[in-house]
Amino acid sequence: MNYRHAFHAGNFADLAKHAAVTLMLDRLLAAGGPLRVVDTHAGAGLYDLTGSMARKSGEAEAGVARLMADSAAPVAFDGLKQAVLALNSHGPVKLYPGSPRLIADRLRPGDSYVGAELHPEDIVHLHEALSPLGPQRQAVARDGYEVAAEAAAGQGRLFVLVDPPFERADDYARAGDLAATVLRRNSKAVVAIWTPLKDLETLDSFVRRLEDGVGTELDVAEIRLNSLDNPLQLNGCALVFMNAPPGLVQALAPALQWIARQSPSPAAAARIWRGGRRDTAIGASV
């Protein structure tokens, strides 16, 4: 794996994903009972926004830095903002939590987290980020698709976060196959998949693949920062949810709309919709 998330930590896509994760955990933890979480592409766990990789891209400046400066940002960001403040002792934002720390810090003593990562440097950092939190928060140097599929064979409540870099040609196929496997083995598991948004057909074909494979209704949250006429650039991102808790995507919508408003492009928009049809939208464009 060549992808290093440190270049992109705290960018618009992280804000969308991590707002969704914190809102998801609020609902799953409130439901009671032990929760297992599997993070298929965990990354380094914590990111230094003053480091060379983050400074080279500058993406955090238009993302988390702008969010933390906005006291009127939607409440959907509250969980993420609290986590960022806690890591930085309420001072300037230097550290940003990846999904491993964002999740592991919120879990209860009886819950468990496994983050899978294959990059040789990032797995070292992931161990460092999780080891102070106890043995129930694990970092494993394994293929995350395999880890999640194995976890689904067990009993109890399960949340699987699938967030590949999509640098491999088969990531869409493997993510779709994993979702089908997880839900076949554990029909009540909650699955969330993050995807880049470059062109509309790629997203739509992926959603259709999921619909054919998982046998349950999908909720889709979509952000466009640019028009979808250049498939070689990142024009936005999307999150696809299976078995999402009631009200999750509606609660997430204000955060997506806030992100879209940060783009100067007239094509910027945020939508939440159900199934493979945008004409069944349950949230409006900005």
2, amino acid identity: N
CB 24 within 8 Å of CB 239: no
Two tokens, residue 72: 């009127």
CB 249 within 8 Å of CB 284: no
To the nearest 5 percent, what fractions of the chain are helix, strand and coil?
45, 20, 35
Radius of gyration of the chain (CA): 17
> What is the Cα–Cα distance from 219 to 274, expressed in whole angstroms?
5
> What is the Cα–Cα distance from 24 to 130, expressed in whole angstroms?
20
- Whether the pTM exceeds 0.85: the reply is yes
CB 23 within 8 Å of CB 253: no
Neighbour-count burial for 109-139, b at 16+ CB within 10 Å, e otherwise: eebbbbbbbebeebbebbbebbeeeeebbbb
Cβ neighbours of 203 (radius 10 Å): 21
> What is the Cα–Cα distance from 272 to 250, expressed in whole angstroms?
8
Two tokens, residue 225: 């920062």
Two tokens, residue 143: 């293929």
pLDDT at 2: 61
Q: What is the 3-state secondary structure (H, E, C) of 183-244?
A: HHHCCCCEEEEEEEECCHHHHHHHHHHHHHHHCCCEEEEEEECCCCCCCCCCCEEEEEEECC
Let me know if 62 is exposed, middle or buried by CB neighbors in 10 A (0-12, 13-18, 19+). Answer: middle
206, amino acid identity: F
With H, G, I as helix, E, B as strand and everything else as coil, classify residue 139: strand
pLDDT, tens digit (0-9, with 9 covering 90-100), for 162-181: 999 888 889 999 999 999 99
> What is the Cα–Cα distance from 219 to 275, expressed in whole angstroms?
6
- Residue-by-residue pLDDT tens, the chain, 286 positions: 566 787 888 999 999 999 999 999 999 999 989 999 999 999 999 999 998 887 887 889 999 999 999 999 999 999 999 999 999 998 889 999 999 999 999 999 999 999 999 999 999 999 999 999 999 999 999 999 999 999 999 989 999 999 998 888 899 999 999 999 999 999 999 999 999 999 889 999 999 999 999 988 899 999 999 888 888 888 999 999 999 999 999 999 999 999 999 999 999 999 999 875 554 454 445 4
> What is the Cα–Cα distance from 286 to 68, expressed in whole angstroms?
21
pLDDT, tens digit (0-9, with 9 covering 90-100), for 50-59: 988 878 878 8
Nearest to 219 by CA among 235, 255, 243, 201: 243
